[in-house]
Structure 1
Amino acid sequence: MPDKVESILMLVAAGEFSMGILGNTFIGLVNCIGWIKKRKIASIDLILTSLAISRICLLCIILLDCFILVLYPDVYATGKQMRIIDFFWTLTNHLSVWFATCLSIFYFLKIANFFHPLFLWMKWRIDSAIPRILLGCLALSVFISLVVTENLNDDFRCCVRTKKKTNLTVRCRVKKAKYSSIKICLNLLTLFPFSVSLISFLLLILSLWRHTRQMKFNATGCRDFSIEAHMGAMKAVISFLLLFIAYYLAFLVATSSYFMPETELAVIIGELIALIYPSSHSFILILGSNKLRQASLRVLWKVKYVLKRRNF
């Protein structure tokens, strides 16, 4: 049975999970309803829907792992069940990061103002290429997950629970180099899309700076929608970058738990921090999108109206 600390942490994890499911499900439902009504979907809505679905799955996997660790620790003694969880966690983790990177690139290509031939060609082709890019991200994530899971030894997860009860120091030391190399490769792979998002953010700043300079020489006194678009995109990208850094560090803690003395508590805390990224970023995306923000206001107005009627 879990102790009081673990019970409190699990309650916090359940709260974060609920908020994340609420936000990401809202994004998916709004975009899917619009898709059904118009019989077509905009590229940005397709990216946001794919991102929301991947994060819903990621949230479910993280919460499931927390509950198994606390309530059913004996499952860690078997390799097959935990191998499945490792596969889906790796898959949804990479999908979430790659789809968020696609969103950053889309913002950059649609909003930035550059006149390089390569940039103009990418800007022209991005809408038609989005479905293929998302499928490519899915195929790449499945391949990485299969490779990583295949190379994890069956006693990897077992040590999370049993190494405090049995002396596995010698075996852990022998396996440490192998496991470390796998984890380093896994985490370095997620740094590539993060770097692409960072480059997109820096180029957006450069584009905004150039546009602001031009506006000084051509001041019209009118509202500048280009600057507003730049600022909105930059807020979305920088929120992803900051939240991903926190998630990445928490992911390192959770996946490196094999080498920590207090593994059970370390994994739960790491996964608790990891839940913040897919949960909170969805609300930032809702606030940054006119369509999603207006839909959320309509829902809140209806909820308020129903509650008022019940009071009377």
Structure 2
Amino acid sequence: MSREHTVPDSLVIDQKAVVFAIILLFLFLVAVLGNGFITAVLGMEWLLRRTLLPCDKLLISLAASRFCLQWVLLCRNIYIFLHPTAFLYSPVLQFIAFQWDFLNAATLWFSTWLSVFYCVKIATFTHPVFLWLKHKLSGWVPWMLLSSVGLSSFSTILFFIGNQRIYQNNLRSNLLNVTRESIRSSCEKFYLFPLKMVTWTVPTAVFFICVTLLITSLGRHVKKSLLTISGFQEPRTQAHIKALLTLISFAILFLSYFLSLVLSAARIIPSWALRFWVWHTVIYLCMAVHPIILLLSNSRLRAVLQKSCFLRCGAP
């Protein structure tokens, strides 16, 4: 078993890791409540009305995938916290990794398609192709969702093949640890890591292209409105400024989440180190803050939340 994937028996987890574990638990509760609320509200609307706006279909898919991802990530962190010497490709962690890889890829794709939808529907570009996409995009939402599931399933199967190969080589190998380490490192460096980079970078690149286009379009409109005397006080200008701030915050959170995944996949931080818990705190923070932003920026969700809080506070 590789030394990089295990901890010496005499090593005790730093007490600071316990503090970060408590922070992770708090962020987990925030993320679960936020994503669960979005999923429940839009799910009830979909169930009662038998239909849902295309944008809300993407939104509920993103919230549901993040809701499930939170539980998988919590189970993984609890297992690693309780078994810091566990082999990272053991059957238990492979089972958790299978769910983690699928939900993580689906979350990235749902976020990307949501940015594509916002970009095409909100941006004010006048190119004929852009106008054609604006007219056709709503009908493509079901295909966006199916493609997200399909691409996520395909990449997850490829990840599982690599994980299983490392585990089987570890079981069959009777060679020295150095040789066994080279076998594991070879599979990780030349198969798993490049595959993960491609899987994650493609939706991330599309996401930032769409966000950049949308920020450019909104920025031009806000700049034009601010040239007038009362431009800043116009409701439409204020709405665009609010949308700009929301997009920028979403992009920052998305980038932080992507970088955290890359560092985790690079295996440069052992699971028993304090930095491991710091980076997982960043992942949890990104998934906890964004549903709050979505709740505050969506008027219907915000109204339901305010109504729920009013009824709860007014109840005897």
Cα distance change of structure 1 residues 264 and 158 upon mapping to structure 2, 3 Å threshold: farther
Deviation of 1:231 after TM superposition, in Å, equals 3.5
Secondary structure at the residue paired with 1:41? coil
User: Identity rate of aligned residues, in percent?
Assistant: 26
Matched, 1:87 2:95: no
Cα distance change of structure 1 residues 130 and 199 upon mapping to structure 2, 3 Å threshold: same
1:126-165 matches, within 5 Å, as: 126-153=137-164, 155=166
Deviation of 1:224 after TM superposition, in Å, equals 5.0
Cα distance change of structure 1 residues 192 and 237 upon mapping to structure 2, 3 Å threshold: farther
Partner of 1:263: 271
Determine the C-alpha separation between the residues in 1 that align with 2:34 and 2:223.
38
Matched, 1:22 2:33: yes
Partner of 1:289: 298
1:26-37 matches, within 5 Å, as: 26-37=37-48
Partner of 1:66: 77
Determine the C-alpha separation between the residues in 2 that align with 1:264 and 1:118.
51
Matched, 1:193 2:225: no
Cα distance change of structure 1 residues 77 and 127 upon mapping to structure 2, 3 Å threshold: closer
Cα distance change of structure 1 residues 226 and 144 upon mapping to structure 2, 3 Å threshold: farther
Post-superposition CA distance 1:258-291 (Å, at most 9, x none): x55x432243333222111211111011111001
Amino acid in structure 1 at the alignment position of 2:272: E
Partner of 1:163: none
Deviation of 1:230 after TM superposition, in Å, equals 3.7
* TM score, norm. by length of structure 1: 0.84
Alignment check: 8 A CA contact 2:218 2:244 kept? no
Secondary structure at the residue paired with 2:77? helix
Deviation of 1:227 after TM superposition, in Å, equals 3.8
Alignment check: 8 A CA contact 2:80 2:271 kept? no
Alignment check: 8 A CA contact 2:112 2:203 kept? yes
Alignment check: 8 A CA contact 1:197 1:237 kept? no
Matched, 1:276 2:268: no
Cα distance change of structure 1 residues 157 and 204 upon mapping to structure 2, 3 Å threshold: farther
Deviation of 1:226 after TM superposition, in Å, equals 5.0
Alignment check: 8 A CA contact 2:120 2:134 kept? yes
Q: 2:247 aligns with which of 224, 237, 249?
A: 237
Partner of 1:12: 23
Q: Which moved more, 1:284-293 or 1:148-157?
A: 148-157
Alignment check: 8 A CA contact 2:225 2:231 kept? no
Matched, 1:44 2:52: no
Secondary structure at the residue paired with 1:275? helix
Deviation of 1:292 after TM superposition, in Å, equals 0.9
Cα distance change of structure 1 residues 193 and 224 upon mapping to structure 2, 3 Å threshold: farther
Determine the C-alpha separation between the residues in 2 that align with 1:213 and 1:251.
36
Deviation of 1:113 after TM superposition, in Å, equals 0.9
Matched, 1:204 2:214: yes
Cα distance change of structure 1 residues 256 and 153 upon mapping to structure 2, 3 Å threshold: farther
Determine the C-alpha separation between the residues in 2 that align with 1:73 and 1:220.
60
Determine the C-alpha separation between the residues in 2 that align with 1:208 and 1:77.
45
Question: Number of matched residues?
Answer: 298
Deviation of 1:131 after TM superposition, in Å, equals 1.2
Alignment check: 8 A CA contact 1:6 1:70 kept? no
Secondary structure at the residue paired with 1:263? coil
Deviation of 1:89 after TM superposition, in Å, equals 0.9
Secondary structure at the residue paired with 1:264? coil
* TM score, norm. by length of structure 2: 0.83
Deviation of 1:67 after TM superposition, in Å, equals 0.6
Alignment check: 8 A CA contact 1:79 1:155 kept? no
Unaligned runs of 5+ in 2: 1-11, 171-175
Deviation of 1:209 after TM superposition, in Å, equals 4.3
Determine the C-alpha separation between the residues in 2 that align with 1:157 and 1:49.
38
Alignment check: 8 A CA contact 1:107 1:233 kept? no
Q: 2:134 aligns with which of 120, 123, 127?
A: 123
Partner of 1:164: none
Unaligned runs of 5+ in 1: 160-166
Post-superposition CA distance 1:47-83 (Å, at most 9, x none): 1100001101111111111011112457647633222
Q: CA RMSD in A?
A: 2.9
Amino acid in structure 1 at the alignment position of 2:116: I
Determine the C-alpha separation between the residues in 1 that align with 2:94 and 2:188.
14
Alignment check: 8 A CA contact 2:226 2:232 kept? no
Cα distance change of structure 1 residues 231 and 134 upon mapping to structure 2, 3 Å threshold: farther
Partner of 1:249: 259
Alignment check: 8 A CA contact 1:108 1:203 kept? yes
Alignment check: 8 A CA contact 2:231 2:237 kept? no
